[in-house]
Structure formats: structure tokens, C-alpha cells
Amino acid sequence: MKTLYKQYIIVTLVVIVASITLSMLLLGQIYNAQIRPDTDEENFEVAQEVKQILNAMPEESYDAYFQAVAKLGYQVTIANESGQMTHYGSAFKKNELNRAMRAIIGTENVYHGIQGYKERFFFMNHFANDVQNTIGVSISLSGEPHALFIRQDNATLFSEMHFLIVGVIIISGIIILGTMIFLARQLVQPLKQLQKATEQIAQENYDIQLTIERDDELGMLATQFQKMAKRLAENDQTKKDFINNVSHDFQSPLLNIQGYANVLKDGENTEEERVQYLGIIEQETKRLSALTKQLLLLSSLDQKSLPIDKTYFSLDQQLKERLFSKRWKLEDKQLELIYELEPVEIYADQHLLEQVWDNLLSNAIRYSEGGSKIAVTCSKKEGFVQVVIQDNGIGIPKEALEKVKERFYRVDPSRSSQSSGLGLAIVTEIVKRHDGEFIIESKLGKGTKVTVRFKH
């Protein structure tokens, strides 16, 4: 498997090699177009100057003069018609004369070897230590025709400054490569931590502690990853609690049904007892049915992609119908109902909002003391529609105000038979799906006020 670290190093090396290659190609073009003609011209001028001085010099000074020219940093070769050569200065590694070089002896022609030399790769021709890589002119020595071939010695081309520049380039290359390797390690190490963390999460171990302290994207990724792990841990615990709660809420009525069914098998039951036991079985069956419906509704609401069926309908009329359906419960507990419903048309899912009002009104009735009041208002404010249901019941402790929206949460577990603990969770999800706002305000022993707002 190719690791990110290896891939990063390989890509870096490829980029460096590609950059050097492209630079050499570019330098080769520049050399052929500009530097080579200029070098050829400079060496030609030197050759011409040497030729002029030779013409005015006595024969016995030729050798000393050529040696002096060589000491100035030039390689000099003198060739006669028979091809015999005499070298001054550093010797050429290659000393073979070609046809063009021989042809200039005794003529006014010039041999432009620097301009036309092509034995090496691009600009490396400039440094070829070959007698053919020279400028050649015809000269006369002691009345005999000869050829003078001359060029600058490579040693003079590399001054101390050139060596410093080359040294800087090499050192810079080493530093750049080392830095890239270091940065690659800095990049890969956090990713390795994240990889190990994902493996732990895959094994349902959500206790993740990352030691990535950075202010860049990797640091943000690590922070969000830890938040995700925490959220997954909470969801996992919620799932387990959900299963436990569902099991408990189903088990209790099922045990009651089973128990009273066994009692009914006893033929010694009176008619009154039989009716009483059947009533309890019916009540527990309805309780199971209601719990099942609420769970199915929550399950459908959890599917965020599931569309809701929005239509325009009269909200105040819907509230009146819900209040009328609760009339017998209100009378049973002798509760006074006060309502003020402003005519309002709303665009929402009518069936889902029925669930909202049904749950909120049921809670208000369930936790209100006999003889108290329940007030319901519906009004249209600037930009939103608001429904408020207020009771004078037992109230909710301050620390439980947000928890009551959680699934299966009950303020008083002893009242579990009265409520499934899903009502407010359903209300929360439905309101959220409508981009609305659900607010609970309560004081223990004084009552509860719930407010539902929708954009209008």
C-alpha cells in the first residue's frame, strides 16, 4: 500500500526532477539563441587580435607569445598543413582535426567550432574539452601556413563566484528537500492519528483523545472529529436507553395483560371482577397501541428526507376541533377552558400539527389539578403565527425544562403509566420539520406555558 508520506515524497522528487529538466531545456534554448553566438564572437575577436600581433612579431618570440596567451586562460593549438599540432596551456582531451579545420589553413576562412559543436546535450557543448570546440583562423609562421585554434580554458569559466552560486543552489536544494520531507511528516502524523481514531470508532470505542493542536484545516478536522466521536457516543447511549425504555414500556402492559388473562382463566371470578379485568386488559392494549403509533411517527420523522405534506388550512379551526375532542376529559377533571383563537391560515402538514396540539393539550389536562384553568390562544404576529397553551398544573422543575423534550424522559418516573415520554419529543421533531420554534416555560407548582411559533 502506498502511504501518503511516500506519495508526497515521490511527488516532491518528481516535481524537482521535472523542474530541473524544464530548466535545462529552457537554458539550452537560451544558450543556443544568445550565449553560444556571443561566445563564438568573443573568441573570434581574440583569435583575430592574436593573429595581428603575430604578424608584427619576430619569429623567435612565437613560442613565448603563445605561452603568454595560454597563461591568460586560453587553450591554444597550432596546426600545420600535415596535421601536426602544438598545444599551449591545458591540453584538449580530444585532439582530432576535422575536415573543416584543415580546410582553413592558408585561406581567409574562419572555423566557427563553438557555434556548430553538437557532441553533447544542449548547453553542455559549451564545456566540451575538444579541439573541435574552438575558433580557428589561418596564420603564417616563418613563412609557412598554419592554423590557430583557440578558446577559453574551462578552468577560467568557473570563477570563485560561480562555485559559490553552484554551492548555494546545491545547499538550497538539500534544504528544500529536507523541508519537504519534514512537512510531509507533519502532514501525515495527524492523519495517522485520525486513521487510528476511526478504527477505534469502528469498534464502538468512542473515547477518543487526539493530540493534534494546530490552527489549520487539520486542526479544525481533529476538533470536528472529536465532536463527532462525542456525538456518536451520545447517540449510542441514547440508542441503548431507547431500547431499554421501549422494552420496559412494552413489558409492563404485556405483563399486565398476561397476568389478568391468567386470572380470567379462573372460573371462580365474579361477573364484576371479570368485567374489571377485561377493562384493564383493554386499557393496556390501547396503551400499547398508542405507544406503537408514537414510535412509528417518530421513526418517520427521523427520516429527514421524508417529505411532509403541506397544504393551506385554517389553524384556528383545527385548534377548535382538537379542543372539542378533549371536552369530555376537561369535564371529567372539572377544568375551565379559556380560548381566544384569531382566524389564521397556515401552510403546513395538517395531520402532523394535529399530533402537536393533541400531545400538548393532553399534557396540559393530565398535569392540571382539578378545578384549575387551561388557556389557549392563537394569534398572528408580524412575520409569524403563534399558539400558546397555558395551564395552572404541577409545573416542571427548572433543570428538567430541556430534558422533557428528550424521548422517554419523565419528570416523575412514578407516573410512567400516565405517559409514554414520547409526546414532547414528537412535538419537537414536528415543529423542527416546519422550521418552527417550540418554547417551554414553567414554574414548579404554578403551571406550564408552551409556545409554538411558525413563520408566516
Residue 291 confidence (pLDDT) above 80 = no
Q: Tell me the range of 105-109, 208-212, 234-238 where mean pLDDT is highest.
A: 105-109
pLDDT of residue 408: 66
- pLDDT band of 163, cuts 50, 70, 90: low
Mean of the pLDDT values across residues 305-323? Answer: 87
Residue 367 lies in a domain: yes
- pLDDT band of 305, cuts 50, 70, 90: low
pLDDT of residue 416: 46
Residue 179 lies in a domain: no
pLDDT of residue 165: 61
Final residue before a domain boundary, out of 123, 157, 191: 157
Query: What mean pLDDT is reported for the chain?
Result: 82
State the CATH number of the domain containing residue 368.
3.30.565.10
Query: What cell does 268 get?
Result: 371462580
Residue 179 confidence (pLDDT) above 50 = yes
Final residue before a domain boundary, out of 132, 157, 182: 157
Measured CA to CA in angstroms, residue 292 lies from 119, 228, 249, 287, 420 at distances of 91, 31, 10, 9, 10
Q: Which of 123-132, 316-325, 380-389 has the lowest mean pLDDT?
A: 123-132
Residue 144 lies in a domain: yes
Give me the number of domains the chain comprises: 2
What backbone torsions phi and psi does residue 89 show, to the nearest 5 degrees? 85, -160
The CA distance from 170 to 263, in Å, is 97
Residue 267 lies in a domain: no
Range of the domain at 359: 308-455
The sheet carrying 85-88 orders its strands as 85-88, 74-80, 144-152, 135-141, 110-112
Residue 262 lies in a domain: no
Q: Tell me the range of 117-121, 174-178, 297-301, 447-451 where mean pLDDT is highest.
A: 447-451
Instruction: Classify 185 as helix, strand or coil.
Output: helix
Helix (H) or strand (E) holding 66: helix 62-71
Does the global pTM surpass 0.75? no
Final residue before a domain boundary, out of 157, 183, 216: 157
Residue 196 lies in a domain: no
Residue 350 lies in a domain: yes
Look at the chain and count its residues. 456
Residue 260 lies in a domain: no
pLDDT tens, position by position, 23-73: 777 777 776 777 788 888 988 999 999 999 988 888 888 999 999 999 988
pLDDT of residue 88: 93
